[in-house]
Amino acid sequence: MDIKQLERQVREITELQDSIKQTSNYCSTFPEHSGMVAFIIESEFISARKERKKLYLFLIHQIILDEKNAKRMDYPYVKCFGQKLKKLIIDYAYQVDDIADLEKAYAVIRRWEKDLIYHPIFLDKLRGILQPKYDQLKYQQMIVNQITQNELASNKILVQNLQIIQQFDSTYKLYLHLKSLRDIDDKCLDFNTNFDKYMMKCELEKIEDYEMIDDLLEQGEASKTFLSENICQTQIHYLDLARLGEHLIKEDFEKKDNKIEYYKSKRPIQ
């Protein structure tokens, strides 16, 4: 048996039945290496992404079916995989989050039970491992369905709430801009106060404080930059408000048009 070829085939299997069948046929050719084959498939199974785990479960299932059809007396693959199935099903139940994939695992277990591959008690234990995750996903599916139905029933309320949230968001943005403008005002007052102190010092002490001049220039430049940025932000905010207003007006007209068309359709035919 070519180990590299087997690893490549196992790693590259797809959902196509031919892909799984070809890999299974290759494995079935070497029953004497069942332990190595089971180890390689187990490693790929554990490391695979959750959406690919079912492919390795199908591969194990196909290898077991091929061995049953070959009517070998000692069933090496059934024994080797039987020792690993509990660990693999635990990993499957933990990782998989699609209820359809869990149902496929149940179907495989039912087939093993029908064909008397493994003891019923062992298969019940495998089902017991899957059951909590299955119940959890079933419950989540029920909640999602209920939410979807409620959303469809109250779609109008949801739209209105969304518009209210957007209006609150706009109001909050306006508050932030007003706060920024107040900060600019505070900076200007600080600048004027410091400038007055400098002029008073020059007049009384007849001393030019160059360090203070540098501080004033730096403070003035910072205030100018801050003011420019906030003017841009304020302009953007009001443009957003204008777009939101246009959207709401357009929706309002569309609703009125729809109502007019509705009442026209109900008008008796002359």
DSSP secondary structure string, 150-172?
A: HHHHTHHHHHHHHHHHHHHHHHH
From 149, 183, 199, give the residue that closes a domain: 149
Can you give the pLDDT at residue 270?
A: 46
**Among 187, 182, 216, which residue's Cα sits nearest to residue 199?**
216
Asked if residue 41 and residue 99 are part of one domain, the reply reads yes
Exposed, middle or buried by CB within 10 Å (0-12, 13-18, 19+), for 163?
middle
Can you give the pLDDT at residue 3?
A: 85
Token duo for residue 106 = 């149940």
Burial track 53-63 (b if 16+ CB lie within 10 A, e otherwise):
bbbbbbbbbbb
Asked if residue 204 and residue 141 are part of one domain, the reply reads no
CATH number at residue 62: 1.25.40.90
Q: How many domains does the chain have?
A: 2
Can you give the pLDDT at residue 139?
A: 84
Asked if residue 111 and residue 144 are part of one domain, the reply reads yes
Token duo for residue 58 = 């199908």
Mean pLDDT in runs of 10 for the chain (270 residues)?
Answer: 86 87 91 92 92 94 91 87 93 91 94 92 93 87 73 58 54 62 70 71 65 71 71 70 70 62 54
Can you give the pLDDT at residue 169?
A: 54
Can you give the pLDDT at residue 264?
A: 58
Asked if residue 256 and residue 171 are part of one domain, the reply reads yes
Distance in angstroms (rounded) separating the CA atoms of residues 66 and 60: 10
Question: Can you give the residue range of the structural domain that contains 205?
Answer: 155-266
Asked if residue 22 and residue 143 are part of one domain, the reply reads yes
pTM greater than 0.85: no
Asked if residue 240 and residue 121 are part of one domain, the reply reads no
How many C-beta atoms lie closer than 10 Å to residue 68's C-beta?
Answer: 16
